[in-house]
């Protein structure tokens, strides 16, 4: 018996385990059929499948930051203090904490002279100064692609530009970048903020951005800014990083075929939350974020035939595997990978750590991504 499941899929009335932007109506381009319009949800003969985005999960900056804390624990011993979450993933933070990492909000919570790791999101010069004042031994795990944006900010500030930092107020990365030149930088959260921007000289304005934004929304913000400031300068190269862009491209490709897209990632992970939104905008009929498989509500799968799965740049692959196992238990055992790019970027360990390890005679090469991400974080 064929049953239409169009209505059954809309999750507006379903409980939420994570953020969802599903159930807001069909944004699919005209002419494209919905899978669920023409297939059944309940017949056992219906082909149920998972489209698995690639690239997904750990990026080079996250890999490096997590390995830095692990190596610090291994070679200096616990406790190792970490300012803020080393990366925005609950599971990673809990796992490192179970090994002896102590996560603090500010450097004044770290005992004088102790060792502290700065997170992948970067810190302002004021934080470096505060750490120095307490004689802390710092390991700076700021992603090199965030450092690149800091350097842009410093350069444009020294040329006396007004710098419009597109990003989310309160996000650690934005606080760190803004702290490089607070008198020159103002944060623009979204296209809706553009009308409120006030600059000293409309002909001397540049935009830069947080690394983990939606590419499409950022370009819309830039378009509106340029309407107001026609000579607005672009940053010298993309600030939205390769990992953020690649994960968005992959989820865009699979979303139009999906009844449900599940993004694995934490609520405070900017790039994970963006994936939830991008999936819906690209045509997924519903889109959810979960920290782990146990948060998936089986009701989301009722009537679905194709489920998309992706994960944010701070998510270890083991959490995705758990999601795939859970989906297989619900009949979605067939998994097709949808790959739109191959990534092989790796960053060397933070300088301070690498030179200490070299002195100790430890091999400082970072293992290849894809194997390391599976091995470094094991289930609690």
**Separation between Cα atoms, residue 209 and residue 189, nearest integer Å:** 10
Stretch of 32-40, 73-81, 138-146, 317-325 lying at the interface with ligand SF4 (CB under 6 A): 138-146
Q: Does 271 bind ligand SF4 (CB under 6 A)?
A: yes
**Cβ nearer to ligand SF4, comparing 60 with 273:** 60
Q: Min. distance of Cβ 45 from ligand SF4 in angstroms?
A: 42
Q: Does 313 bind ligand SF4 (CB under 6 A)?
A: yes
Q: How many CA atoms lie within 13 A of 218 on its CB side?
A: 27
Q: Which of 70, 152, 173, 257 is catalytic?
A: 173
Q: Does 146 bind ligand SF4 (CB under 6 A)?
A: yes
**Cβ nearer to ligand SF4, comparing 343 with 352:** 343
| Residues 304 and 41 sit within 8 Å (Cβ to Cβ) | yes
Near ligand SF4 in 199-228, by CB under 6 A: 211-212
Write the DSSP string, 277-299.
Answer: HHHHHTT-S-EEEESSGGG--GG
Is residue 227 part of the annotated active site? The answer reads: no
Q: How many CB atoms lie within 10 A of CB 246?
A: 21
Cα angle 369, 372, 375; round to 5: 155
Q: Does 278 bind ligand SF4 (CB under 6 A)?
A: no
Stretch of 59-67, 76-84, 103-111, 288-296 lying at the interface with ligand SF4 (CB under 6 A): 59-67
Q: Min. distance of Cβ 293 from ligand SF4 in angstroms?
A: 23
Q: Long-range pairs for 2-8 at CB < 8 Å and ≥24 separation?
A: 2/39, 2/40, 2/43, 3/40, 3/41, 3/42, 3/43, 3/303, 4/36, 4/37, 5/36, 5/39, 5/40, 5/41, 5/42, 5/302, 5/303, 5/304, 6/34, 6/36, 6/37, 8/41, 8/302, 8/303
Write the DSSP string, 29-85.
Answer: PTTPPPHHHHS-SS-TTS--EEEEEES-S--HHHHHHHHHHHHHHHHH-S-EEEES-
- Tell me the site size for ligand SF4, rule CB under 6 A: 15
**Separation between Cα atoms, residue 81 and residue 127, nearest integer Å:** 14
Binding mask 88-127 for ligand SF4 (x = CB under 6 A): --------------------------------x-------
174, 208, 222, 243: which one binds ligand SF4 (CB under 6 A): 243
**Separation between Cα atoms, residue 66 and residue 71, nearest integer Å:** 9
Q: Min. distance of Cβ 211 from ligand SF4 in angstroms?
A: 4
22, 57, 61, 308: which one binds ligand SF4 (CB under 6 A): 61
Q: Does 59 bind ligand SF4 (CB under 6 A)?
A: yes
**Cβ nearer to ligand SF4, comparing 34 with 171:** 171
Binding mask 158-197 for ligand SF4 (x = CB under 6 A): ----------------------------------------
Note the residues at the interface with ligand SF4 (CB under 6 A). 59-62, 120, 143, 145-146, 211-212, 241, 243-244, 271, 313
């Amino acid at each position: 018996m064929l049953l239409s499941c169009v209505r059954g899929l809309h999750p507006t009335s379903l409980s939420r385990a994570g953020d969802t932007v599903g159930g807001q109506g069909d944004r699919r381009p005209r002419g494209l059929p919905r899978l669920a319009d023409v297939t059944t949800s309940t017949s056992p003969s219906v082909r149920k499948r998972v489209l698995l985005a690639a690239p997904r999960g750990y990026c080079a900056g996250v890999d490096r930051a997590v390995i830095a804390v692990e190596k610090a624990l291994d070679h200096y011993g616990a406790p190792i203090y970490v300012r803020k979450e080393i990366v925005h993933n609950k599971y990673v933070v809990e796992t490192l904490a179970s090994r002896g990492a102590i996560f603090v909000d500010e450097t004044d919570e770290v005992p004088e002279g102790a060792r502290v790791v700065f997170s992948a999101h970067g810190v302002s010069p004021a934080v470096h100064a505060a750490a120095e004042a307490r004689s802390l031994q710092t390991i700076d795990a700021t992603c090199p692609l965030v450092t690149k944006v800091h350097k842009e900010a410093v350069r444009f500030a020294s040329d006396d530009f007004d710098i419009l930092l597109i990003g989310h107020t309160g996000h650690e990365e934005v606080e760190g970048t803004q702290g490089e030149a607070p008198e020159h930088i103002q944060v623009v959260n979204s296209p809706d903020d553009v009308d409120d921007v006030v600059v000293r000289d409309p002909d001397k304005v540049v935009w830069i951005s947080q690394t983990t934004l939606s590419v499409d929304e950022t370009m819309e913000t830039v378009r509106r800014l340029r309407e107001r400031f026609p000579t607005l300068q672009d940053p010298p190269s993309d600030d939205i990083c390769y990992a953020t862009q690649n994960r968005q491209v992959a989820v865009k490709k699979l979303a139009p075929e999906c009844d449900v897209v599940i993004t694995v990632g934490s609520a405070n992970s900017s790039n994970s939350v963006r994936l939830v939104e991008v999936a819906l905008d690209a045509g997924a009929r519903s889109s959810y974020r979960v920290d782990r498989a146990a948060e998936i509500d089986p009701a989301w799968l009722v009537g679905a035939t194709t489920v998309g799965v992706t994960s944010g740049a701070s998510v270890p692959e083991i959490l995705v595997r758990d999601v795939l196992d859970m989906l297989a238990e619900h009949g979605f055992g067939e998994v097709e990978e949808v790959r739109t790019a191959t990534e092989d970027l790796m960053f060397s360990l933070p300088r301070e750590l690498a030179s200490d390890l070299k002195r100790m005679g430890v091999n400082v090469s970072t293992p290849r991504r894809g194997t390391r991400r599976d091995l470094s974080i094991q289930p609690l």
